[in-house]
Structure 1
Amino acid sequence: MDFRDEAQLDASQVEQRGGRRIPGGGLTIGGGIAGIIALIAAVIFGVNPGDITGSDPAGLQPTSNLSEQCRTGADADQSEECRVVGVVNSIQDYWGHLDGYQQAKTVLFAQAVNTGCGAADSSVGPFYCPRDQQVYLDLSFFDQLQSRFGAEGGPFAQAYVIAHEYGHHVQNLTGQMERVGQDRQGPDSGAVKLELQADCFAGVWAKHAVDTGFYEKPFTQSDIRQALDAAAAVGDDRIQERTQGRVDPEAFTHGTSEQRVTWFGTGYRTGNPDECDTFRKGV
């Protein structure tokens, strides 16, 4: 997953708040079922994740100017923050062909952040806030994806996570979120269908990423394996098994490992967003 050295990055699409990441910091993906519900509530209903997780972080202001350090694809190959900039640029370049697409900024934060959906901390995991149309990400999530949830990790696993969150932005712009209603949990719930559609959208971007001009060549099978492995690691069944010791399908909010892998694969294989209609096709 190499960026074109001469590719020009637009660092204005990413903002860094509250300092740099703390490797190995105390992130748990969703902090168990409460955090998972908080994430779904933030994504679909725009509620305050802090109301559920109990966090109340102080307002954090931008602390660095990424435009000074993230200028080209060569920078993206050398720095994690700049890699995020490159991934975001590529994703938004692809979705820019969508009628009515509006760019969404990614906010990098450490431990806690205030959002248009309210206060949140790292326990919520990466999320998209529809109220302010921004993606929020604590980079320590990627450490925990490997150490706590057993994912292989790697640059393309990170790209998959970011592309999934921008899938939620596309859903917000196109009205897909409204199809969920109050159906927040369960194996066939609207929440699960929304998440699997976002996985599919991530696969669609991956299929076309080289066409955006930010990457040197198409992704390798090793790259795609990183994404599939990350998707499997954050399946409801695997998370529940690790955190609760049992699987409760009625509490599903994101879909099983197999479903997440399947829908990312559908997007990547077809390269067609129309094939990602989980609401019509079922999961």
Structure 2
Amino acid sequence: MSFNDGAELDPSQVQDRRGSGPGRGMKIGGGIGGGIVALILVLLGVNPQILEDLTGSGQPPAVGPGTTQSGGTRECRTGADADKRLDCRILGTVNSLNSFWPDYLADYNVKYSRPQTVIFSQATDTGCGAATSAVGPFYCPSDRTAYFDPGFFEELVDRFGSSGGPLAQEYVVAHEFGHHIQNMLGDLGRAQEDPQGPQSGAVRVELQADCYAGLWARYASTVKDPDTGQPFLEPLTKQDLADALSAASAVGDDRIQEAATGRVSPEAWTHGSSAQRQKWFSQGYSTGDITKCDTFAVARP
């Protein structure tokens, strides 16, 4: 899904912390795939902290909350920039999401509170502890912030076989904002109550965030820049939808498990299968109705 060239981006909605040394530690929070290295270790029954202890990774000082790369997303000004640069595309998607959700939720008498968004490289501090790039994109409910290392999107293509199309990347951003909506509505914590297995609360939370991403995708081309009145994004194409479904499939627990171990163990799932993730993104996209995203209301999500 490409941006309209004349759309005006708002760099103030994203904090760019790239450009400083790596920090230390792992993560706690909701994520698109739970990480590249860390998730695979978890699926194998290994504590990811062991890897850090053995390798001594992350010894340099952590990247502080106020650190900003010179230039960075401050140079992202128009939709044309978002079509050329991944970090600008993340910013533009954030702008679109922050324009979509307030009006949509108002119809359900819910007031939207804007989350913070951070772009980082290698490592950063968060309200959920120190985070490294290994965990992939995630949302931290403690500081109500979505975190993105742009390097993840290369991993998504190179190591997990996802499409590299724009909506594949925008879906990831929309999924993390879906966790913020869950946090607002009081559903995010249900993942911790039932953390593992194909019908678990954890899987249902992740699939609901996929459904919320599909909701945004349905209306994204009509969401207008509040300053210019011009839509941020061009109408969705069949290829765009295929790109998003490709990304959803790439981060399915079954696909990651099979690649890592050669077998699938549903009892260890925390995010849902490839088919489930595609199904619930499509549910949000096809219905445009948040009430149809209740993954907790069905016997088998």
Structure 1 length normalisation: TM-score?
0.87
Q: Distance in 2 between matches of 1:201 and 1:104?
A: 15
Partner of 2:8: 8
Q: Using the alignment, how far apart are the partners of 1:205 and 1:52 within structure 2?
A: 38
Cα deviation 1:98-131 (Å, max 9, x = unaligned)? 2221111221111111101001111111100000
C-alpha displacement of 1:67: 5.9
5+ unaligned residues in a row in structure 1: which ranges? Answer: 21-26, 38-48
- 1:144 counterpart (155, 171, 177): 155
For the pair 1:83 / 2:89, whether they are aligned, the reply is yes
Q: Root-mean-square deviation (CA), in Å?
A: 2.4
Q: Distance in 2 between matches of 1:155 and 1:131?
A: 29
Match of 2:70 in 1: 64
Q: Which amino acid aligns with 2:144?
A: Q
The alpha-carbon deviation at position 74 of structure 1 amounts to: 2.0
Distance in 2, matches of 1:76 and 1:234, equals 24
Cα separation, 1, equivalents of 2:244 and 2:50: 29
Q: Deviations over 1:176-207 (max 9, x none)?
A: 11333421000100000000000000000000
Identify which of 121, 127, 137 aligns with 1:110: 121
Greater than 6 Å deviation, 4+ residue runs: none
Higher alpha-carbon deviation: 157-166 or 54-63 = 54-63
Shift in CA distance, 223/88, structure 1 to aligned 2, threshold 3 Å:
same
Name stretches of at least 5 consecutive residues in structure 2 with no aligned partner: 21-33, 225-230
Equivalent residue number for residue 177 of structure 1? 188
| CA distance in 2: counterparts of 1:36 and 1:29, whole angstroms | 11
Deviation string for 1:214-257 (max 9, x for gaps)? 43531101001000011001100000000111111110000000
Q: Paired residue for 1:234, among 239, 251, 256?
A: 251
Structure 2 counterpart of 1:130: 141
- How many percent of aligned residue pairs carry the same amino acid? 51
> Within 5 A, what are the aligned runs for 1:187-206?
187-206=198-217
Contact 1:109–1:138, Cα closer than 8 Å, also in 2 = yes
2:42–2:48 Cα contact (<8 Å) kept: no
Say how many residue pairs are matched.
Answer: 267
Q: Distance in 2 between matches of 1:219 and 1:128?
A: 26
Structure-2 change in CA distance of 1:50 and 1:63 (3 Å): farther
Distance in structure 2 (CA, Å) of the matches to 1:84 and 1:252? 28
State whether structure 2 residue 241 is matched by structure 1 residue 224: yes
TM-score by length of 2: 0.82
Give 2:240's aligned amino acid. Answer: D
Q: Distance in 2 between matches of 1:238 and 1:229?
A: 12
- Of residues 58-67 and 185-194 in structure 1, the stretch that sits farther from structure 2 once superposed is 58-67
| Paired position in structure 2 for 1:94 | 100
CA shift at 1:28, angstroms?
A: 6.1
Deviation per residue, 1:33-86 (Å, 9 max, x gap): 44579xxxxxxxxxxx98676465633122235564112212212222111111
Q: What residue number does 2:26 align with?
A: none
Q: Distance in 2 between matches of 1:91 and 1:114?
A: 24
- What is the CA distance between 1:6 and its match in structure 2? 2.0
Q: Is the 8 A contact 1:17 1:64 kept in 2?
A: no
Larger radius of gyration: 2
**Whole-angstrom distance in 1 between the partners of 2:271 and 2:176:** 13
1:120-163 Cα distance to aligned partner (Å, 9 max, x none): 11111110000011111111111111111111222110000110
Equivalents in 2 of 1:181, 1:116: separation in Å? 17
Separation of aligned partners in 1, 2:238 and 2:115: 29
Distance 2:218 2:137 in 1: 23
Report the CA distance shift for 1:8/1:36 in structure 2 as closer, same or farther (over 3 A).
farther
Shift of 1:13: 1.2
CA contact (8 A) 1:50 1:120 kept: no
